[in-house]
Amino acid sequence: MLLALKNVNPVLTLTFTCMKKQSILLSIVFVGILLAMGCSSAKSGSSAQTQAAYDESLLLGTWLHSHEEDGKDPRGTIYRNAKYFTFPMARGREGFTFSTESKCMFLAIAPTDGTEEQPGKYGWGGKGMLKITLENGRSFNLKVHELSKDKMVVKEQ
């Protein structure tokens, strides 16, 4: 084919060669875009469902058990962020305080109806699992079903 083009006008030969290179380049770019889109959707498909559960900025703070809402959510126990929720008077509330560097504090109800702080560590497991291990040996495995700035719904496993 190149032999036939050599006898043709040099401008046409150059145009044909450029078009061929552009076609190859466009094919490469198109395949690259398809591959990037496929990889992106494969990654986001698995993490999009659990993204809220893993957003540590939402978890940080003090979460108290909202006794008043027990039984209202079939997914589990409701905790409210003490920063955004005003609780009615109660004889004590259990809860957790989560801070940076995977440190946490379990807020247990003390014998005098006050709060007894028990230090520990926390970490995320797969599929929205929150693992809490206290220094006294007690541990919690919580499946996080919902986590927003003011509400957390968990089920102990």
**In 97-106, which positions are buried (b, 16+ CB within 10 angstroms) versus exposed (e)?**
bbeeeeebbb
Q: Which two tokens stand for residue 117?
A: 């702080």
Q: Is 155 helix (H, G, I), strand (E, B) or coil?
A: strand
Q: Vertex 38, ends 34 and 40: CA angle to 5°?
A: 115
- Same domain assignment for residues 22 and 58: no
Could you tell me if 76 and 109 lie in one domain? yes
pTM surpassing 0.85? no
- Whether residues 87 and 55 fall in one domain: yes
> What is the Cα–Cα distance from 128 to 1, expressed in whole angstroms?
62
Whether 107 and 149 share a structural domain? yes
* Residue 18 tokens, joined: 């450029």
> What's the domain range around 114?
51-156
pLDDT recorded at residue 55: 80
Considering the domain architecture, whether residues 68 and 106 belong to the same structural domain is answered as yes
Asked if 131 and 147 sit in the same domain, the reply is yes
Predicted confidence pLDDT, tens digits, the chain (157 residues): 444 445 555 544 444 454 455 555 444 544 344 334 443 333 333 333 344 346 889 999 999 999 999 999 999 999 999 999 988 888 889 999 999 999 999 999 999 888 999 999 999 988 899 999 999 999 999 999 999 999 999 999 9
Number of folded domains that form the chain: 2
Q: Are residues 68 and 40 in the same domain?
A: no
Max distance between CA atoms of the chain, in angstroms, equals 102
